[in-house]
């Protein structure tokens, strides 16, 4: 459930109601070794990427034989955990209940500027026949707009890409410095890609403010990463 980040991981209530879905936005208390300690999770394959702040999506039909590079994973196969590691960037899960499809996406400012969520939604449509309006999205903890300072370079890249500028708020007395709303930028991208705004769900915690969460902006090189995961149990049919 959404609650204190002192928990091992956080979940979205509407996603919890899907019987075959397993998901969680990890806190600093959730370790990679914990996946094997949960009853019923022992046979899940764990897949994560070398995340490189791109818009590249991988569609997983079986466990890859090598480490893949990119920032999004999607599958329609059960017993696979898709993992995105974050420490201020925004993790996003996508779920199609009718098709039995899930995706995990790593949204940093570069991937957001490149439209990574639009790429994922379009890929789900082409690959699996998903309807964007039927997708559920869960956005996890990330650095809040009040804590995310960026410079002219970031704002200029967004302007050059034709993206909305009102996710940047100038910082008084500091020319060329802005507070950037990463969560809102991605929420708009999901809705622009065809999702129903009512299906964009949120765990609105700030990684920099909450010490139960890892934050690169707060802890710099001493920061570890949060393990955010989504997967499917076998879907039983009568």
Show the low-confidence residues of the chain (pLDDT under 70).
Answer: 1-6, 236-238
pTM score of the predicted model: 0.95
- Asked if residues 158 and 179 have their Cβ atoms less than 8 Å apart, the reply is no
**pLDDT score, position 221:** 87
**pLDDT score, position 235:** 75
**pLDDT score, position 164:** 85
Quick one: fold of 9-143+181-232? 3.60.140
**pLDDT score, position 2:** 53
**pLDDT score, position 236:** 66
**pLDDT score, position 219:** 96
**pLDDT score, position 144:** 98
**pLDDT score, position 62:** 87
Element (DSSP H or E) covering residue 125 = helix 116-128
């Amino acid at each position: 459930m959404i609650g204190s980040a002192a928990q091992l991981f956080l979940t979205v209530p509407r996603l919890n109601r899907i019987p075959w879905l397993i998901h969680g936005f990890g806190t600093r208390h959730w370790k990679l070794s914990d996946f094997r300690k949960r009853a019923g999770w022992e046979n899940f394959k764990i897949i994560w990427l070398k995340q490189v702040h791109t818009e590249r999506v991988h569609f997983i039909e079986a466990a890859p034989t090598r480490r893949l590079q990119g920032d999004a994973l999607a599958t329609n196969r059960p017993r696979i955990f898709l993992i995105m590691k974050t420490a201020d960037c925004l993790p996003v899960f996508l779920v199609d209940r009718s098709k039995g499809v899930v995706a995990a996406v790593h949204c940093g400012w570069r991937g957001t500027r490149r439209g990574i969520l639009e790429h994922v939604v379009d890929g789900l449509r082409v690959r699996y026949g998903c309807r964007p309006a039927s997708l559920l999205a869960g956005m996890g903890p990330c650095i809040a707009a009040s804590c995310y300072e960026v410079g002219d370079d970031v704002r200029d890249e967004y302007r050059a890409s034709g993206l909305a500028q009102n996710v940047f708020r100038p910082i008084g007395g500091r020319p060329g410095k802005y507070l950037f709303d990463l969560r809102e930028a991605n929420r708009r991208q999901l809705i622009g890609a065809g999702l129903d705004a009512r299906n964009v769900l949120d765990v609105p915690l700030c990684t920099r403010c909450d010490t139960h969460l890892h934050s690169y902006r707060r802890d710099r090189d001493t920061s570890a990463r949060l393990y955010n995961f989504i997967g499917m149990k076998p879907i039983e049919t009568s």
